[in-house]
Amino acid sequence: MLTDRHILLVIGGGIAAFKSLDLIRRLRERGARVTPVLTRAGEEFVTPLSVSALAASKVYRDLFDLTDEAEMGHIELSRAADLVLVCPATANLMGRMAAGLADDLATTLLMATDTPVMIVPAMNVRMWQHAATQRNLATLRADGIAVVGPVEGPMACGEFGPGRLAEVADILAAVEAHFADGPLAGRHVLVTSGPTHEPIDPVRYIANRSSGAQGTAIAAALRDLGARVSFVTGPASVAPPEGVEVIRVETARQMHEAAMAALPADAAVMAAAVADWHVANAADRKVKKTRDGTPALDFAENPDILHAISHAEARPRLVVGFAAETDDVTAHATAKRDRKGCDWIVANDVSPATGIMGGAENAVTLITDAGAEDWPRLSKAETARRLAARIAEALA
């Protein structure tokens, strides 16, 4: 899939830069041609010689190198590639990109290019969660830049959390998905998935039995048709698919914020089982059992994510909601479609006898302007493929 594809790889500064060496090797194994651009900070972690040896290419480093400018000016360099891949994308580099700065070779290339750009963020968890980084991320997404990761895990600094560079296999999958020749190539689809956890105190929460399997299968099916997928997932019991942008959240309010930040998108598939309420008086320390009786929980309504996406200023062309019902499935789902303002509703019966909630199969009814269409009981993967095909038809 990557044979003869030209990747301009910008290597930012950070300990994760060492993974760029493996990434170069694997890109070339798949037939890609890699031209590396090494930032000054990146040189602190990997050497120009090692990068050049693995890429079998000259390493570009200096905006004002007269020889480089004579051989291939930075404008030509920025536009000669099929994809500009920034890995790792540090908080500093993301901030400069979002601000439109062009103060070194890397940022000047990124400003001058009309080639698609994909970034792979990596940084300390606190830096990733900082409001400034999240603002910059939202700006870059709005500018059409694809994002891969970061993922949650242990970091070189000794902390644990989101901010770790995505695995090389996942980066490769995202690059291959970018070049996939499918009916959704060039389309951006938002998918929400999994349950939400609403805290009672630091050790207890209210949740539901959703495994996230259906949303995960939908994201994979859309990816396989060539879409760029932003996958906003609650704490699901299944692993997210490779080759999509994974955005992990815990609560409904976090999911609402992440879903809105992922816009604009061509389509949105809201498959998450979102809690309707959260505990308004959640405690900041563990609630102890006392002789005073059972503690009272005060509930407040969560944001209506499906309604918000359906009425957003940057509304996707197609918004697909889900309705998990235990009785009068079609009637309740049809009413939900009208109430929320979405285009389609995928309804299913999750009463205990069906075994669907948390199970491996699904039996859905697709509700559109044309009416209700019953699908047979299928694996969740096959249900996802059918839905992805219908989405591709709708966006064609």
Is 306 labelled a binding residue?
yes
Q: Kindly name the residue from 99, 132, 156, 157 that is annotated as catalytic.
A: 157
* 157 annotated active-site: yes
Is 336 labelled a binding residue?
yes
- Pair of tokens at residue 286: 């563990």
d(CA 250, CA 324): 20
Q: Which residues, at least 6 apart from 293, have a Cβ–Cβ distance to it below 8 Å?
A: none
d(CA 196, CA 18): 35
Helical (H) or strand (E) element with 84: strand 83-89
Q: What is the DSSP letter of 42?
A: G
C-alpha torsion 166→168→172→174, nearest 10: -10
CA-based torsion, 346, 347, 349, 351: positive or negative: positive
Report helix angle 91-99 to 105-112, nearest 10: 40
Give the distance from CA 245 to its chain's centroid: 3
Is 380 labelled a binding residue?
no
Is 391 labelled a binding residue?
no
Is 288 labelled a binding residue?
no
CA-based torsion, 203, 204, 209, 213: positive or negative: negative
Q: Are 97 and 104 in contact (CB under 8 A)?
A: no
Radius of gyration of the chain (CA): 23
Catalytic residues: 157
Residues annotated as binding site for CTP?
276, 286, 303-306, 322, 336, 340
